[in-house]
Chain A
Amino acid sequence: MCAKERSQVADIDRSLYDFTKSEEGSERLDAGLTPEIVREISARKNEPEWMLEHRLKSLEIYHQLPVPDWGPSIEGLDMDNIVTYVKPPTEQKSDWESVPEDIKDTFERLGIPEAERAYLAGVGAQYDSELVYHNIQESVSELGVVYSGIEEALEDPKWEAIIREHFMKLITPDDHKFAALHGAVWSGGSFVYVPAGVKMDFPLQSYFRLNAKGAGQFEHTLIIVEEGADLHFIEGCSAPKYNVANLHAGAVELFVRKGAKLRYSTIENWSKNMYNLNTKRAVVEDDGVIEWVSGSFGSHVGYLYPMSILNGAHSTCEFTGITFSGAGQNLDTGCKVVLNAPYTSAHVDTKGISKGGGIQTFRSSVLVTEKAEYSNVAVACASLMLDDESRSDTIPAMDVRAEHVNVGHEASIGRIGDDMMFYLMSRGISEAEASTMIVNGFADPVSKELPLEYAVEMNNLIKLEMEGAIG
């Protein structure tokens, strides 16, 4: 899809994302969280025994761990009412024509097949709890790149051992309550393996759509980028809005080997009844690079802090993020970085926007360990408040245990300057347009890191969010 076509999004309303499809033919397990439900999920997937044990152990841990008391309230999330597994009425396909019409229409409306044709090396599409489509270009496959459903890979003896070696090793079930929940009921998600030295010219994309009312989505993404390889992975997600809580508690584990580079881009646009309690983590070896580009626009409540563990000398992390919190939203986002080797560096640049009573919090943690001598960290966060009903908090934390390091942090909070508005309006631009223009400019450091098509989408999301912001 070209940028011009994509820009048509600006002319339509939120129904681009906010449409529902019938659940006819879908299979729902009972709501709630019990060992029986966990066993049922595992049985349906015909998993190896170790995975069932992992699930049951995770469930135990889930019940032992407390609900976080430091972030937004999740009182409205009652696990007894959440359906943890909904199977769509199809198996995974590798051509869109074989996908049931309703589901295919969903992804067509979201522009996924077009995007695949235009500029992607492969696409995975998940609908509720299962992947419904997965495909990779043959030329990419011939390079040895594997991009498949993680459960599909688990059935392959060649990959089962590798998945077992890496699965939930970065994000362990005891990390926090919702990591444990994920470990118990995970379903769907992608496995990516990029062999040593392979540099991908085009991105891979996974798109997650949650259609079922009152359901949870718990996909697991596992990516291994071998020595000297290069990958750009794009993740998108959306859901229609319901009047009951939905839950997303996915997990993303990224392994970046020596000299490898991985860019992980996300445009998150869950519906505003969603509790997005997602966990993402990357470990980076010598000279490796992890780049996160993160746009958070949707969800009722969000907890999202992609974490980078720089274990290799000269490894680097870049995190570029934007969070837009509107009416009824409480989005607590940011990142964590652990510098755990000499000559590592991290650069964090985030923007936060709140309006219409929305609450936006930037939260970060930087740990420079004793091993990270001669390392550098720069963290910058800027927050923009568009009215006096909204709230914006900044809670960064730095723990430095090495001597020859430089750690810098800067943050600012404020509103759109009257002088900027006056200037634009004196040029004949309406107040609403001027405001949107300024916010787009504020978000520019993030959008310029995205592929053009996604940058356009992000700007359109901002435009949608800005509707009604003035007056």
Chain B
Amino acid sequence: MTTQTAIKANRMPAITWHKFKGNEAEIELPALAAHDAGAVAFTVPPALMFMETTINGDVALDAGTAPVKEAFDEALAAAPEGLQQWETGMGEAADAWLDAAAKRRLAVLVPEGHTEENTLVIRIQAQDGAAAVAAVDLVAQAHSRLKVALHVDSPTAGSGVAGSRVRVFVGEGARVEFASVQTLDATWQHLDNIGAYVADSGRFIAEQTVLGAAESYTGFASNVAGREADTTVDTRYLGHGANKIDFNYVIRQRGVQSTCTLTANGVLMDSSAKVLRGTIDLIHGAKGAVGKENETVLLVNEDVRNKTIPVILCDEDDVQGAHGATIGHVNPEQLGYMKTRGLSAEQVEDLFAVATFDYAASHAFDASVRAAVERLGTRVLGDAYELLQEGE
């Protein structure tokens, strides 16, 4: 059970003018019941060591009996001094709220050198009047491989909050691929909070797709601490109706020759609004580090509102930092070409939304995610979704 509250989240590490109203998000959260057992489900590949609490709290995370917990503590201890407290993209207030709301928790250990062929799946289904939240801790030990898929969906009508708090430790030479898809209908709030630590030569690759919800808040922080460590994020989003999308990416590049690539592509329709804050922090000592950030936003309605704040903080000279952003309408040449193919301007605009859904559907990790994407696509675009999909 949570109480009604307002929290500030997704605050940029280096803020700018308050009048711009982009430094952070203010989230109004209603009083919500705890979710029931069906709201959060984990599918953990058998070869992995894991520890899970049930809805009744049958196994406590702090029981200290599982090697997973010990491994996670060790991973935390391995982080340089001062980093024991994990930084997450949404910040402490949201982290605490999610932690309190999470009734299902999972901690997973990928043993050293193990390459997991199967995907670890996390499903979160929104429940009316409830906070459906999963808390997940992942430790990929040295030279291991893991793929994770997270789906946040709303198969039934209602309102409430659905989301997750995920912490990922990527050990030396390890690789974690994390793909998330959010397909909530327009009555829900979505909170997605990630904190990662990447050791020497480790790679953390995240693909985040945000397609729905009345309000969607994504916070992502990665401590790219190791030598030649990497974090790569590819974000896709679609704003429609009157929904609000809010992202905060914070990449701390501490490692020598570490790399980071942030890419975001989005389409804003109707009267949707989006804020994307992306901070690449090149910390003193990260010699040879390279950080890149790029966002492309397609605006397809005069009522949309887009805020983009791509920030580079640089305390080291021997680095390369770059960011770019392109915000605009459909290219006139593209528009002209489409019109010669018999499409109206409205259909052309819908086509870009369809393309976002199609991309998500084609990259869905299983049939249920694909079905959820198509369900949302039909709800958002109506008949146009199927018509344009078929190329009619």
A→B interface (CB under 8 Å)? 69-70, 363, 365, 370, 373, 383, 385-388, 390-415
Contact = CB atoms under 8 A, between A and B. Distances in A.
Interface stretch (B240-248, B259-267, B323-331): B323-331
Interface in B253-290: 282, 284
Contact of A388 (B17, B316, B324, B329): B316
B49 interface: no
Contact of B320 (A69, A392, A410, A413): A413
B364 interface: no
Given A402-B302, A409-B308, A413-B314, A395 B326 contact: no
B320 A407 contact: no
Contact of B327 (A390, A391, A407, A410): A407
A395 B314 CA distance: 11
B134 interface: no
Given A403-B300, A414-B321, 14 more contacts: A387-B317, A388-B284, A394-B312, A397-B308, A400-B297, A400-B307, A400-B327, A401-B305, A402-B302, A403-B301, A403-B329, A406-B328, A411-B322, A413-B319
Interface residues on B, range: 35 or more
B196 interface: no
A407 B305 CA distance: 13
Nearest to A407: B327
B327 A405 contact: yes
A336 B282 CA distance: 25
Given A70-B17, A406-B328, A409-B325, A398 B315 contact: no
Given A398-B308, A398-B309, A393 B314 contact: yes
Contacts of B23: 70
B4 to A, nearest CB: 29
Contact of A408 (B305, B313, B326): B326
Contact of B311 (A69, A370, A394): A394
Contacts of B301: 403
Contacts of B18: 70
Given A403-B302, A405-B299, A365 B324 contact: no
Contact of B299 (A69, A391, A394, A403): A403
B333 to A, nearest CB: 13
A394 B323 contact: yes
Contacts of A411: 310, 312, 321-324
B316 to A, nearest CB: 6
Contacts of A385: 314, 316-317
Nearest to B316: A388
A397 B309 contact: yes
A409 B317 contact: no
A458 to B, nearest CB: 23
A70 B22 CA distance: 12
Contacts of A392: 314
Contacts of B321: 394, 411-414
Contacts of A403: 299-302, 304, 329
Contacts of B100: none
A409 B323 contact: yes
B14 interface: yes
B306 A365 contact: no
A403 B316 CA distance: 39
A363 B310 CA distance: 11
A390 B142 CA distance: 35
A393 B302 contact: no
Contact of B324 (A383, A400, A404, A409): A409
B134 to A, nearest CB: 33
Contacts, number: 131
B311 A393 contact: yes
A162 to B, nearest CB: 29
Contacts of B308: 397-398, 400, 409
Interface of B: 14-18, 20, 22-23, 282, 284, 297, 299-302, 304-329
A283 to B, nearest CB: 17
A393 B323 CA distance: 12
Residue with the greatest number of chain A CB neighbours at <10 A, chosen from B282, B299, B309, B324: B299
Contacts of A69: 15
B317 A415 contact: yes
A402 to B, nearest CB: 6
Nearest to A405: B328
Nearest to A363: B16
B313 A405 contact: no
Contacts of B307: 397-400
A178 B318 CA distance: 37
Contacts of B299: 400, 402-403, 405
Contact of B322 (A398, A404, A407, A413): A413
B325 A407 contact: yes
B31 to A, nearest CB: 32
B20 A365 contact: yes
Give 8 closest A-B pairs by Cβ, nearest first: A385-B317, A413-B321, A406-B328, A407-B327, A403-B302, A409-B325, A415-B317, A410-B324
Contacts of A70: 14-18, 23
B14 A395 contact: yes
Contacts of A370: 302
Nearest to B292: A412
Contacts of B319: 413-415
Contacts of B282: 413
Nearest to A373: B302
A399 B315 CA distance: 27
Contacts of A396: 309-311
B20 to A, nearest CB: 5
Contacts of B328: 405-407
B268 to A, nearest CB: 9
Contacts of B325: 398, 407-410
A305 to B, nearest CB: 9
Contact of B318 (A398, A404, A406, A415): A415
A411 B300 CA distance: 26
Contacts of B16: 70, 363, 365, 395, 397
Nearest to B304: A403
A463 B317 CA distance: 20
B216 to A, nearest CB: 19
A98 to B, nearest CB: 45
B317 A386 contact: yes
A386 B314 CA distance: 12
A404 B329 contact: yes
Contact of B314 (A383, A399, A400): A383
Given A398-B325, A403-B300, A403-B304, A409 B310 contact: yes
B262 to A, nearest CB: 13
Contacts of A390: 317
A383 B329 CA distance: 30
Contacts of B327: 398, 400, 405-408
A135 to B, nearest CB: 39
25 contacts: A365-B16, A365-B17, A387-B317, A388-B316, A393-B14, A397-B307, A398-B307, A399-B305, A399-B307, A400-B297, A401-B306, A403-B302, A404-B302, A404-B329, A405-B329, A406-B329, A407-B326, A410-B323, A410-B325, A411-B310, A411-B312, A411-B321, A412-B321, A414-B317, A415-B317
B293 to A, nearest CB: 9
A393 B326 CA distance: 20
Nearest to A361: B14
B322 A412 contact: yes
Residue with the greatest number of chain A CB neighbours at <10 A, chosen from B299, B304, B314, B323: B314
Contacts of B309: 395-398
